[in-house]
């Protein structure tokens, strides 16, 4: 009994470490889209910087398996994105929809498009002008995390709002 307990607590510890690692890598992944800003932390402190958008507002929402419905935490992130975009009118967003590798290529392209569109519709419903939002699907072609289990899959089922200068796209 006690040994069983010990094993299960060790498993729990390992899971926690994995989750942290995945989280850390996710943040690094978000870094690819901060090139506009360029000066790391200093930029991220400036609320009107894309780095602030990526790191503080949150540039992405995650989805359940084979779903494109926005979860409550996703909607909260998108409320923040909408507010930021309304405040910083010189920026536009390209919304990239992605899927995990558990699916056929064509279906995942269509699923990624659904996810991107769900984000686009939500941002429009929060007042962001449609001409500042564009979507693209990468299906399963651009995984952020590359292990083949749920810890990675959940990070890959995402829609990422990539900020660029330009009011109309």
Partner 1 sequence: MTVPFKRIALAIATLGVLAAFGFWTAPAIAQTGPLRIEITEGVIEPMPFAAPTFVAESDATADAAQDITRVIGADLRGTGLFREIPSSAFISTITNFASPVQFNDWQAINAQALITGSVSQNASGQLVVQFRLFDVFSQQQLGEGLQFVGAPDSWRRMAHNVADEVYERLTGESGYFDTRVAFISESGPKNARLKRLAIMDYDGANVQYLTDSRSLVLAPRFSPDGSQLLYTSYESGEPRVYLMDIASVTRRPLEAISAGNMTFAPRWSPDGGRVVFSEEQGGNTDIFMLDLGSGARTQLTQAPSIETAPSFSPDGLQIVFESDRSGNQQIYVMSANGGEARRVSSGSGRYGTPVWSPRGDLIAFTNQNQGRFHIGVMRTDGTEERLLTASFLDEGPSWAPNGRVVMFTRETAGTDGAPALYSVDITGRNLQRVATPGMASDPSWSPLQN
Quote the CA–CA distance of 166 and 169 in Å, as a whole number: 7
Is residue 157 part of the contact set for partner 1 (CB under 8 A)?
A: no
Tokens of 146: 């590359």
- Each residue 59-78 as x (binds partner 1 by CB under 8 A) or -, in order, gives -------x-x----------
Other C-beta atoms closer than 10 Å to the C-beta of 89 total 11
Shortest Cβ distance from residue 102 to partner 1 (Å)?
A: 7
Is residue 155 part of the contact set for partner 1 (CB under 8 A)?
A: no
Among residues 100, 135, 154, 163, which is the contact residue for partner 1, using CB under 8 A?
135
Is residue 111 part of the contact set for partner 1 (CB under 8 A)?
A: yes
Q: Which residues contact 19 (CB under 8 A, 6 or more apart)?
A: 151
Is residue 113 part of the contact set for partner 1 (CB under 8 A)?
A: yes
Among residues 57, 61, 144, 163, which is the contact residue for partner 1, using CB under 8 A?
144
Shortest Cβ distance from residue 39 to partner 1 (Å)?
A: 25
Contacts with partner 1, residue ranges (CB under 8 A): 66, 68, 101-107, 109-111, 113-114, 116-118, 120-121, 134-138, 141-148
């Amino acid at each position: 009994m006690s040994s069983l307990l010990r094993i299960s607590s060790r498993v729990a510890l390992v899971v926690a470490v994995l989750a942290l690692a995945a989280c850390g890598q996710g943040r690094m992944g978000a870094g690819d889209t901060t090139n506009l800003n360029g000066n790391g932390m200093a930029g991220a402190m400036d609320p009107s910087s894309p780095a602030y958008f990526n790191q503080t507002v949150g540039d992405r929402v995650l989805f359940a398996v084979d779903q494109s419905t926005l979860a409550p935490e996703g909607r909260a992130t998108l409320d923040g994105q909408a507010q930021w975009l309304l405040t910083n009118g010189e920026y536009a967003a390209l919304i990239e929809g992605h899927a995990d590798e558990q699916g056929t290529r064509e279906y995942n392209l269509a699923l990624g498009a659904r996810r991107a569109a769900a984000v686009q519709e939500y941002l429009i419903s929060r007042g962001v002008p449609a001409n500042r939002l564009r979507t693209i699907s990468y299906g399963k072609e651009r995984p952020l995390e590359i292990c083949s289990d749920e810890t990675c899959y959940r990070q890959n089922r995402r829609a990422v709002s990539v900020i660029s200068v330009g009011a109309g796209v």
